[in-house]
Amino acid sequence: MKGRFARLVIVVAVVPLLIGLFLITGGGAADGADHGVGSVRIVPVAGLTGLTSRPPFASNSHGLPPGRGALVAQITSQTAVRASPGGARIGSLGLKSQFGSPVVAWVRRQSGKWLGLVSPVVGNGRLGWIPMSAASLRRVNYQLDVSLSARHVTILYRGRQIERYLIAIGKPSAPTPTGDFAVTDRLQTGDPSGPYGCCILATSALAPHAIQDWSGGNRIAIHSTPETSSIGLPVSHGCMRLTLPEGAWLIAHIPLGTPVIIRE
């Protein structure tokens, strides 16, 4: 009898811990492959969330999707990326990102049947051009505005501020780059106590150096951290850090392709 009672106590104690882990990690792996971040495994979050239209994407044959949000393109067939409309090839885009997410990019310009994309393939401050026939189009109503001097990220929805979070930014030897970028991946780590907390928004921004313990190479991210004492300080390798609840909010709301505007 005592043995049964002891086992019951253990089960009662463990169940809340399992429930908490389920809530933090989203109940298991999302679509796509696992990738390592140091000793942490990361998975892309399923779904594109927060977009103004639902699948399927707006048909190119009917022109651009309606609305005033930022235009984003999901790659639907592997395509060359060119330096200008019809110009020299400078890279390529497939259907999946390096983290296993659908490739969705912010369209900054359009020229005839060509789309000028913000993409890590072409680097900071440049556009990569693809034929419109290689993508499907939507609009997003969100935008992330980062002020490095104020150390804030402001979340806009349809041009109106709905959230503002204090962030850590890059240290002087590894500054956070400025420019116009976009969200490329929404990732969960499954380990909120790890260096990237629970949640990561990878962006198209590139640092001039590799980032320690980060499988994204020199890709800049907005991610949560359990080290809340670092928030508000210039201490990172270029990424932007915020709290675990704030990181979870971003993952739940911010779609792929969302513009990320980083200003000094």
Q: Are residues 146 and 169 in the same domain?
A: yes
**Of 117, 140, 163, which marks where a domain is finished?**
140
**Of 113, 140, 167, which marks where a domain is finished?**
140
Residue 192 is assigned to a structural domain of this protein: yes
Domain range enclosing 5: 1-27
Q: Are residues 187 and 78 in the same domain?
A: no
Q: Are residues 177 and 217 in the same domain?
A: yes
Q: Are residues 19 and 112 in the same domain?
A: no
How would you write the pLDDT of the chain (264 residues) with one tens digit per residue? 444 444 433 333 433 333 333 333 333 333 333 344 444 566 788 665 544 444 444 444 447 888 889 999 999 999 999 999 999 999 999 999 988 999 999 999 999 999 999 999 999 999 999 999 999 999 999 999 999 999 999 999 999 999 999 999 999 999 999 999 999 999 999 889 988 899 999 999 998 876 666 556 688 999 999 999 999 999 998 999 999 999 999 999 999 999 999 999
SS3 3: helix
Respond yes or no: is residue 223 known to be catalytic.
yes
> Is beta strand 259-263 parallel, antiparallel or unpaired with respect to 179-188?
antiparallel
SS3 100: coil
CA torsion 50-101-209-108 (nearest 10°) is -50
Looking up residue 180, the CATH number of its domain turns out to be 2.40.440.10
Respond yes or no: is residue 239 known to be catalytic.
yes
- H or E segment to which residue 246 belongs: helix 244-253
**Of 198, 199, 237, 239, which is the active-site residue?**
239
Q: How far apart are CA 198 and CA 109, in angstroms?
A: 34
Residue 112 is assigned to a structural domain of this protein: yes
Name which of 72, 240, 51 is nearest 154 in CA terms.
240
Residues contacting residue 164 through CB under 8 Å, at least 6 positions apart: 152, 153, 154, 155
5: buried, middle or exposed (CB in 10 Å: 19+, 13-18, 0-12)? exposed
Q: How many domains does the chain have?
A: 3
**Of 199, 223, 237, 253, which is the active-site residue?**
223
**Of 111, 140, 169, which marks where a domain is finished?**
140
